[in-house]
Structure 1
Amino acid sequence: MTGRVVLQWLMTTHVVLLRGINLGKTNRVPMARLRQVLTDAGCTRVRTLIASGNVVLDHPGKPDAVSALVHDAIADEWGLDIPALTRTAASLRKVLAHNPIDGADQDPKHYAVTFLSTPAPAATLEPLGLDADPSPFPGEHAVLTRGELYTWTPEGIHKSRLLRALGRLPALHGTARNWDTVRRLADLAEEGD
């Protein structure tokens, strides 16, 4: 019994964001089976949120090691090459606390965070002219931190000229979640702490 208590004490709660799964019939990964596969791979308290690739789990490894473990487990089980980005529960809370776009969280479906696979310098957004007056993207906003890109698209992602422009910037590789999902993931990560 003591070994189990010590092991749980060494665990870190991680939030794993999978990119591009369960999009229609593409890259199908059933969440119940994923939870079992990750448990078998040595993770504990594995839980998922919606079927779009949001996993909260406990593991003693660093985020990069957890990303590799999840990527490899999915490749072994389903033969899919699915990028996995991992943040600790503590870093996810910081993402929520940062919230650099005033008032955007009032409409969380149009406010999103792109979690970047590698940090991007602040100058990455300069080619878009976001500080120009008038703005080339009226009503839309983007704020880049080193590891996340916050975006506000009041007309929705499908009509967003800003998101199309951002997608052409090679330094911004990652996966996005709307603000509501980020909040729900943070809540899920805190359960049982």
Structure 2
Amino acid sequence: MSKIVLFLRGVNVGGVKVLMKDLSALLANAGYTQVRTLLASGNVVLDPGDAGLLEVQQRCNELLEAEYGRSIPTLAYSAKEIIQLGGPFPLDLPEPVAEHHGYLTLCESQAHAQQLLELAREAAPEADLALTGRALCWIVRKGQSTTDPLSKLHTSQARKQLITTRNHNTLVKLASIVQ
């Protein structure tokens, strides 16, 4: 099987500290190979051996809870999905481009992504949105990623369903690692 990318939700914010070197060691000790982290926000590439996406996700959730004494949810994505998400961003960034970021809110399923899209359209009818696989793509002006109406929506939805948001640049870097 090809590589899997795990996204940890809510680490290294709000008092939940997970050092990436410790995370790498935890996953390597559990038998995963070619473990590599990217940034301190909980992005991990690994070779799962014969395990499937959901099996890896569930096992990693268990390992994290045992190690840190609390639930740290993860989302597992295949290399194929990451390559798709790390390709060209499906929305045109407004001018000046350098003042905007493309974001992807990663979801457990395409159905959850579709539901999030519908909620996003209600919360910000003027927003430019797109679905790519299990991800909702959206744009935010730099410096407004926590105050933007879509950011607020995603924060509230993260209490109800398993989602996590990443900058498109992060997905581009991850795609280069899994290829």
Q: Into which bin does the TM-score normalised by the smaller protein fall?
A: 0.7 to 0.9
The structure, 1 or 2, with the larger RCO (C-alpha pairs under 8 Å, 6+ apart) is 2
- Aligned-pair identity (%): 28
SS of equivalent residue, structure 2 residue 86:
helix
Residue segments in structure 2 that go unaligned for 5+ positions in a row: none
Correspondences of 1:49-64 after superposition (within 5 Å): 49-59=38-48, 60-64=50-54
2:130 corresponding residue in structure 1: 143
Cα drift, residue 96 of structure 1: 2.7
Kindly indicate whether the alpha-carbon contact (under 8 Å) linking 1:108 and 1:179 is maintained by their aligned counterparts in 2.
Answer: no
TM (norm. structure 1) is 0.76
Is the contact made by 1:122 and 1:146 (CA closer than 8 Å) also made in structure 2?
no
Q: Is the 8 A contact 2:81 2:133 kept in 1?
A: no
Query: Aligned AA for 1:76?
Result: A
| Partner residue, 1:7 | none
* Structure 1 spans left out of the alignment, 5+ residues: 1-10
Cα 1:189–1:101 change in 2 (3 A) is same
Shift, 1:78, TM fit: 1.7
2:146 to 130, 133, 158: 158
- Flag as ranges the 4+ runs of structure 1 deviating above 6 A: none
Alignment of 1:2-151 (within 5 A): 11-23=1-13, 26-59=15-48, 60-97=50-87, 99-103=89-93, 107=98, 110-119=101-110, 120=112, 122=114, 124-126=116-118, 129=121, 136=124, 138=126, 140-145=127-132, 147-151=134-138
The verdict on how the C-alpha distance between 1:149 and 1:46 changes in structure 2, with shifts beyond 3 A counting, is same
* CA-CA distance at 1:125 after TM superposition: 3.5
Of the two, which has the highest radius of gyration?
A: 1
2:12–2:18 Cα contact (<8 Å) kept: yes
Aligned length: 173
Distance 1:21 1:166 in 2: 16
TM-superposition CA deviations, 1:9-54 (whole Å, max 9, x none):
xx42011000011115x22112112111111111000010111101
Q: Give, in whole Å, the separation in 2 of the partners of 1:37 and 1:127.
A: 37
| TM-score, structure 2 as length reference | 0.81
Give the counterpart letter for 2:128 in structure 1. H
